[in-house]
Amino acid sequence: MGSGGGSGVKDVGSKADLEDALQGAAPVIVHFWASWCAASKQMDQVFAHLAADFPRALFLRVEAEEQPEISEAYAVSAVPYFVFCKDGRTIDTLEGADPSSLANKVAKVVSDSFAGSASPATSLEMADAPTETIEKLPEENGSSHNESPSSDLSDALRMRLQQLVNSHPVFLFMKGNPEQPKCGFSRTVVNILKDEGVEFGSFNILMDDEVREGMKKFSNWPTFPQLFCKGELVGGCDIAVAMHENGELKDLFREHGVPVISKETEVVDSTKSLSSDATVQERSKELSDSTGLDAALSSRLRVLINSSPVMVFMKGKPDEPKCGFSRKVIEILQQDEVAFDSFDILSDDEVRQGLKIFSNFPSYPQLYIGGELIGGSDIVLEMHKSGELKMTLAEKGIISEVTPEDRLKNLITSSPVMLFIKGTPDAPRCGFSSKVVDALKKEGIDFGSFDILSNEEVRQGLKTYSNWPTYPQLYYKGELIGGCDIVLELQNSGELKSTLSE
């Protein structure tokens, strides 16, 4: 057995090596990892720290795809994956990059083995970090993980994304901008960077769907925010939290020569120059000097935008929309019982053309909340499905605060047939999710979906809400149908389509 990942971590070379290690008196913690998985690499650092903190336990690494016999024996289908053993038997497991749970489980297995031993301070500090994403191991007959996910990006888009990533030593792809983040995870990373005192650039992925979808492939990372340092992906929110709390983020910045400015960090929002994100006030001031909009028109647009806390610029009127996109936004606002005003851009060409320049947003409808551009129908629909629209309205004081239960209800009822899965229908991240997606597609059933790996609050909250501990979960008209086994049973009996169309 060789060393790996840290002085206290050993690499397992064969099943016999692992079996020998399990015969000893010490508790054994095994990390199943993959070289292509960014989350595995980040958790390796946590694993090494824990090995140093708990020298009486044996910390082992197994490269999951290089040791298929071991992986199969422990039913490993995703990485990172951890197995906790005592007296030669498995007593616990952990799936996913969760520093908090890993530290707590290690401390428990060691304390149970050596009664009275205290948990080291470092490990207790790590126990506050939340969860990140996991990666499903490729199927034998699937595509190889050696194929770059960015290979199907156009040269122009790949170059654009590379320029964005390299535009600042520290760069953050986020929802919203640093002054007004559109999700709690983005806000957390912004606060961390400010606390670290480093200057960073940012890009609002809600304002550019090409960048949003392209970055998932470019970085092989399915969620946002995404933090980069000197062109290299650091990770998402939870990895940033863990590295910040244990000091590794500061070390990373120091190693890469990133200067610490001050706690009052300067933030450069690259979306302003590369796309279309800024507050209306900032954007109007910039554009009035550079686009030819006269002061009177700029003033008129500003008054219109701020004439109501929620303002929709649309084609037609709420009771008679003149396009499907405008109709969709109106339906969403009415469904959420949000009071709003609207302006028919078909009735005033000066406003219609001027607002495109003023907002740097080329199409309609345009939704504004509290004087700030939210986006068009696609962004509004996505924010509605995820619950972020109500959260934004609550933050602006327009509606009462949204409870976690309300958010789950909104998600469950956002589509008549709603599937909560690991990954997306086009790229499921576990075998069970893939089977349910295939069953629904084979029956020709339209369905909405939510990637529970992208939001830990939803992932954990829905388990309690539905009293169903695993994923996927399939709902019809707000009622739980069940998981993978039930869906496949309904499909095999010919009842799936009728069940979801009653």
For the chain, the domains span: 10-111, 167-256, 310-352+365-396, 406-500
- Asked if the domains 167-256 and 310-352+365-396 are classified in one and the same CATH topology, the answer is yes
Q: What is the separation of C-alpha 18 from the centre of its chain, rounded to a whole number of angstroms?
A: 35
- Which distant-in-sequence residues (6+ apart) come within 8 Å of 464 by Cβ? none
Distance (Å, rounded) from C-alpha 204 to C-alpha 234? 18
Of the two residues 276 and 25, the one the predictor is more confident about is 25
Q: For 235-249, 250-264, 354-368, which range has the lowest pLDDT when averaged over its residues?
A: 250-264
* Statement: residue 480 has pLDDT above 80: yes
107, 123 in Cβ contact below 8 A? yes
Give the chain's mean pLDDT.
Answer: 81
**Range list of H helices, 167-208:** 184-196
The phi and psi torsions of 446 (rounded to 5 degrees) equal -75, 140
Judged on CB neighbours under 10 Å (0-12, 13-18, 19+), 401 is exposed
Q: Express as a percent the part of the chain with pLDDT over 90.
A: 30
Q: Average the pLDDT over 308-336 and give the result.
A: 89
What is the per-residue pLDDT across 104-113, written as a single tens digit (0 to 9) for each?
Answer: 888 888 877 6
**Three-class SS state of 160:** helix
Distance (Å, rounded) from C-alpha 225 to C-alpha 129? 16
Of the two residues 385 and 133, the one the predictor is more confident about is 385
Cβ count within 10 A of residue 235: 25
Q: Average the pLDDT over 208-235 and give the result.
A: 87
Position 344 confidence tier, pLDDT thresholds 50, 70, 90: very high
Candidate CATH numbers 3.30.70.940, 3.40.30.10, 3.90.550.10, 1.10.3470.10; the one for domain 167-256: 3.40.30.10
37, 81 in Cβ contact below 8 A? no
Q: Which CATH superfamily is domain 310-352+365-396 in?
A: Glutaredoxin (3.40.30.10)
The dihedral through the CA atoms of 373, 378, 382, 387 has a sign that is positive
Residue with tokens 């009035």: 288
Query: Is the pTM above the cut of 0.75?
Result: no
Q: What is the pLDDT of residue 188?
A: 87
Q: Average the pLDDT over 291-304 and give the result.
A: 83
Judged on CB neighbours under 10 Å (0-12, 13-18, 19+), 470 is exposed
Q: What is the pLDDT of residue 386?
A: 73
Q: Which CATH class is domain 406-500?
A: alpha beta
Q: What is the pLDDT of residue 292?
A: 63
Distance (Å, rounded) from C-alpha 200 to C-alpha 266? 7
Task: Using alpha carbons, select from 382, 379, 381 the residue that is nearest to residue 359.
Answer: 379
Q: What is the pLDDT of residue 348?
A: 92
Position 255 confidence tier, pLDDT thresholds 50, 70, 90: confident
Task: Using alpha carbons, select from 110, 44, 52, 109 the residue that is nearest to residue 80.
Answer: 44
What is 10-111's CATH topology? Glutaredoxin (3.40.30)
Q: Which amino acid appears at position 429 of this protein? A: R
Cβ count within 10 A of residue 307: 12
